[in-house]
Amino acid sequence: MEKQQIVVKDLGIMDYQQAWDYQEQLLKENVQLKSQAVDQWPKPTTNYLLFCEHPPVYTIGKSGHMENLLLDEAQLASRGIGFVPTNRGGDITFHGPGQVVGYPIIDLENFFTDIGKYLRSLEEVIIRTLADYGVKGDRSKGETGVWLDPHDKGAARKICAMGVRCSRWVTMHGFALNVNTPMDYFSNIIPCGIVDKKVASLNQEVGHEVPVEEVKAKLSKYFAEVFDCYIL
């Protein structure tokens, strides 16, 4: 199979809805290209890896439960935190300062048509990135995302949440890696609907603030490795 190219774009600090609209636009463009080239191989689509940081916002997936949000509308407003129901998978999570959010808009038909493998591949990108900081990322059986000490009930904590959507094998949404993220925001939700595990941030694990741009560079590097593609 022809080696694919990934266009990396850093969107900076961007409102969640604005980033979502942009993803929808890129997905729609790719789906339209595919519909015009049904018999063409590889598909003439453009792959993207978008990085951004959102102002404080809680988002919930299609299968999420509102009882996992522990604040009402007035409390959210008083704290300056947004709330957005989304069309991704997964339950409730937080996006905000010090967090690297990655949105891959890629055509899996030019890679592999397996959503489970796609999620495991995203997890692998995060695991390799964390390893560069001496932090051992791991998987928790039946729970998407990247964890620290997942097999120790008292110590298990999630450092990267994931939720994706796929249309005609074109992906959107993605991962949220806590780098220098204030943990107090997570006390207002039951993260991902999981009551018996905590949340972690990379800076707390290594004992100092971590350069966000450095993390993005590592994520891009390992994305290219794991997905066997070129980064532009």
> Catalytic residues, which ones?
192
Alpha-carbon distance of 104 to 2, in angstroms, equals: 19
Give, in order, the Cα–Cα distances in Å from 81 to each of 55, 72, 89, 99: 8, 11, 21, 15
Please report, as a single letter, which amino acid is at residue 133: Y
Of 145, 212, 142, nearest to 181 (Cα)? 212
| Phi and psi at residue 160, to the nearest 5° | -145, 120
Helical axes 212-227 vs 115-131, angle rounded to 10°: 130
